[in-house]
Amino acid sequence: MTTPALASADLARRIHDRALLTGQFTLRSGATSDAYFDKYMFESDPELLRDVAQALVRLLPPQVDAVAGLELGGVPLATVVSQLSGLPALFVRKQAKTYGTCRLAEGGEVAGRRLAVIEDVLSSGGQVIDSCRALRERGAEIRAVLCVLDRESGGAANVAAEGLKLRPAFTMTEMLIAAEA
């Protein structure tokens, strides 16, 4: 029988093996890194995406009305988390549309809803913070921020400074330890 810890380590290893690229990369924050997690590699693999989403479902706090996936990497995650949890999904743009409905979030109303915001990889947390501020301005209560990977590069502290609760499936340290095992 597989224990939760072993299952978690196996998932971390599978994500690592599928999505870790090495070289020189510039991150959204402007920082450079010699390791980059290409989230589209694990999000485009149906079995791995389902398993990652199942790990995120276990991180959902109680009393959440909907999941909100951040553009672009959080959208497939939120879609599958929605399927597995039965919660509605919202899809959050980086900026509200300037035409049509002019919405920031597609898929339903934001005002008065308790949301779990979903991101793929957290580095500085800049986009998470911007999106959560915009959602709050529209009347949402952010119950938690879920991510697949916390790169441990300052994002967790930045998110916490905004009064947001981060729940990562894995930290970079956990992912690297699992990959070495």
pLDDT in tens, 9-31: 999 999 999 999 999 999 877 88
pLDDT in tens, 31-87: 888 988 899 999 999 999 999 999 999 999 999 999 999 999 999 999 999 999 999
pTM: 0.94
Q: Is 140's pLDDT higher than 50?
A: yes
Residue 2 · residue 162 · CB < 8 Å:
no
Neighbours of 91 (CB within 10 A): 20
Element (H or E) spanning 23, and its range? strand 20-26
Domain that holds residue 53: 4-180
With H, G, I as helix, E, B as strand and everything else as coil, classify residue 4: helix
Separation CA 122–CA 41 (nearest Å):
16
Angle, CA 42 vertex, CA 157 and CA 14 arms, to 5°: 90
* pLDDT, mean of residues 155-177: 96
The CATH number of residue 137's host domain is 3.40.50.2020
Buried b (16+ CB within 10 A) or exposed e, 2-25: eeeeeebbebbbbbbeebeeeeee
The pLDDT mean for the chain works out to 93
Look at the chain and report how many structural domains it folds into. Answer: 1
Q: Is 136's pLDDT higher than 50?
A: yes
Q: Is 1's pLDDT higher than 80?
A: no
